[in-house]
């Protein structure tokens, strides 16, 4: 159960809760060439884009429903490597599930 300001906002298992509330997805992308300003603006329309080094970017998607749109955009670029991870909220929720 999750309670916020005295109100029940979720009742279920820890895994179900993570699936419902952890909508953030992080992509680490290495491009063949650095992104142009126009390409970066296009990605920023649906995600947060951070230059890590040279041609490496961290692209954070805040709504998994937009993942298909993001992947379509990435498919238009020359991508060398892409890795994904979900930002874990397990530690934050572990204390709430006793």
Q: pTM for the complete prediction?
A: 0.64
Per-residue pLDDT tens digits for 7-65: 777 777 766 765 666 667 888 999 999 999 999 999 999 999 999 998 999 999 887 78
Q: What is the pLDDT of residue 39?
A: 93
DSSP of the chain: -EEETTEEEE-S-HHHHHHHH---EEEEEEESSPPPHHHHHHHHTTSEEEEEETTEEEEEES-GGGHHHHHHHHHTS-EEEEEEEEPP-HHHHHTT--
Q: What does the angle CA 27 – CA 14 – CA 61 come to, to the nearest 5 degrees? A: 20
Q: What is the pLDDT of residue 20?
A: 65
The answer to whether 46 touches 71, Cβ cutoff 8 Å, is no
Place 98 in a pLDDT band, splitting at 50, 70 and 90.
very low
């Amino acid at each position: 159960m999750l309670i916020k300001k005295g109100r029940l906002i979720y009742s279920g298992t820890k895994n179900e809760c993570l699936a419902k509330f952890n909508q953030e997805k992080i992509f680490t992308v290495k491009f063949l060439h650095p992104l142009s300003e126009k390409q970066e603006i296009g990605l920023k329309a649906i995600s947060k884009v951070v230059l890590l080094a040279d041609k490496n970017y961290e692209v954070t998607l805040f709504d998994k429903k937009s993942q298909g749109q993001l992947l379509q955009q990435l498919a238009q670029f020359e991508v060398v490597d892409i890795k994904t991870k979900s930002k874990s909220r397990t530690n934050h929720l572990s204390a709430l599930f006793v």
